[in-house]
Structure 1
Amino acid sequence: MEQPHIPVHKEGLPFIGLFAFTSLIFALVGCSAMALLALASTFFATYFFRDPSRIVPDKQGGIISPADGKVIRIEEVDDNRFLNQKVQKISIFMNVFNVHVNRLPVRGTIEAVHLQPGRFYAADKDKAVLHNEYCAMIVQSEGNVRYCVVQIAGLIARRIVCFARPGDTLESGQRYGLIRFGSRVDLYLPETSEITVKVGQKVKAGETILGSIG
């Protein structure tokens, strides 16, 4: 069970504080329109950076969704960038109204973390996979099964945050990072994995089971 925590991610506190302070200043100088705009921005930042607790399913080998959002693609691909093998790939698109905290799909040890600078095309487009900025994290789970989870920046997203480091061992559903303001997470799984979600299905990080890793 996760320990109680502040339901707003620490990455959002500077934004919330700045907007709140700006609203106060405008109110003090009598600029009500700008004060209301800054106050609305404060509420939006608080909503965007929300970090609710989740009850992680206790399923042996279960693949927990790494992100809130909608499944936009499930396909078999020859991955020559991360795992160098044929994999099953699941793509989850997050809009600005989704929770943007990312969680580990399957318990394991972080083998490598690679941040690649790039462009900021719309995250639901195919070219985003090849050209957008991303952070790829390769994980080795039980039985020497390896998988990769990739945070991809989007049209508005300009910062990818990954707190995990090589050598860290994380539990299924444990928080490891987030992406600011609309983005995408791709999950590269062994070809033998069983996928139970469908394209178009809405999922929740740390709660929805995507399938079983194989």
Structure 2
Amino acid sequence: MFHREGQKIILTTFFIVCAIILVSQFYVDIMWLRWGLQLLAVVLLILILQFFRNPTRRAAKTFDEILAPVDGKVVVIEEVEETEYFNDRRRQVSIFMSPTNVHVTRYPASGSVKFSKYHPGKYLVAWHPKSSTENERTTVVIRTPKFGDILYRQIAGALARRIVNYAEIGESVQQGEDAGFIKFGSRVDLFLPLDCAVTVKLNQKVVGAKTCIAAVVKKDEEGEIAY
């Protein structure tokens, strides 16, 4: 299954690949060159199909957990000052996506969309410290029953030049559902309350709509923290 954002580019690439194969078959006499061109064309199509793949995932919906919004690797876990919406201290968890990862963005939690804004910007490499505030990006805030307001930010990388965001202010969203797409390498930042329990580690690989990023802190009868 492929994401709808890739339909046009997949179709265009398919016709280009077919044209390359046909032209090389009839007009390129050197056998190794003909086979090389055809092989490169097929590899290009496979790469495009791989990038826009959209595996079906059904999140085990829970209000007590924040799930990974994307596939990738955790590159930041730190306490920061979030200045666009909250203007206070938040726990930031950032996930970097390489071009080989699934690039579908999924809602990390169920709730209602309170804020959704697109920002044009630069195209610094996605792991650059300033990419979160200077790159092309979208910011979405979801009001959740257990965590209060949480924020996630789609950030374009050096190769990504288009972010797709489906979140609209006022709509109700469900954890794990399709929230958008970022093309060709990028990053997603989560800004969570300080009193939640982050359940991932640096450099850990996560799976969108599957891996728990943070959980509600619970206490047992003796007042000890129990997740």
CA RMSD in angstroms comes to: 1.6
Moved more, 199-208 or 144-153: 144-153
> What is the rounded CA distance, in whole Å, between the counterparts of 1:134 and 1:53 in structure 2?
25
- Equivalent residue, structure 1, for 2:23: 29
- Equivalent residue, structure 2, for 1:3: none
- Equivalent residue, structure 2, for 1:74: 77
- Equivalent residue, structure 1, for 2:179: 176
> What is the rounded CA distance, in whole Å, between the counterparts of 2:189 and 2:72 in structure 1?
12
Cα distance change, pair 213–184 in 1 and its aligned pair in 2 (3 A): farther
Matched residue SS, 2:13: helix
> What is the rounded CA distance, in whole Å, between the counterparts of 1:192 and 1:92 in structure 2?
20
- Equivalent residue, structure 2, for 1:63: 66
* Deviation digits for residues 139-180 of structure 1 (CA, Å, limit 9, x no counterpart): 111268101100000011111001121111111111110100
Equivalent residues in 2 for 1:11-160, closer than 5 Å? 11-30=5-24, 32=34, 33-142=36-145, 145-160=148-163
Paired letter, 1:127: K
Q: Does 1:207 align with 2:207?
A: no
> What is the rounded CA distance, in whole Å, between the counterparts of 2:22 and 2:205 in structure 1?
44
> What is the rounded CA distance, in whole Å, between the counterparts of 1:94 and 1:58 in structure 2?
23
Task: Find the partner of 2:197 among 194, 197, 213.
Answer: 194
- Equivalent residue, structure 1, for 2:31: none
Q: Is the radius of gyration larger for structure 1 or structure 2?
A: 2
Using the size of structure 2 for normalisation, the TM-score is 0.87
Q: Sequence identity of aligned pairs in percent? A: 35
Cα distance change, pair 82–182 in 1 and its aligned pair in 2 (3 A): same
Q: How many residues align?
A: 208
Structure 2 gap segments, 5+ residues each: 29-33, 218-227
**8 Å CA contact retained: 1:153, 1:159:** yes
**8 Å CA contact retained: 1:157, 1:180:** yes
Runs of 4+ in 1 over 4 A off after TM superposition: none
Structure 1 gap segments, 5+ residues each: 1-6
- Equivalent residue, structure 2, for 1:8: 2
Matched residue SS, 1:45: helix
Moved more, 18-27 or 112-121: 18-27
> What is the rounded CA distance, in whole Å, between the counterparts of 2:132 and 2:146 in structure 1?
29
Paired letter, 1:139: I
Matched residue SS, 1:29: helix
> What is the rounded CA distance, in whole Å, between the counterparts of 1:144 and 1:94 in structure 2?
25
Matched residue SS, 1:82: coil
Using the size of structure 1 for normalisation, the TM-score is 0.92
For residue 79 of structure 1, report the CA deviation from its aligned partner: 1.2
Paired letter, 2:126: A
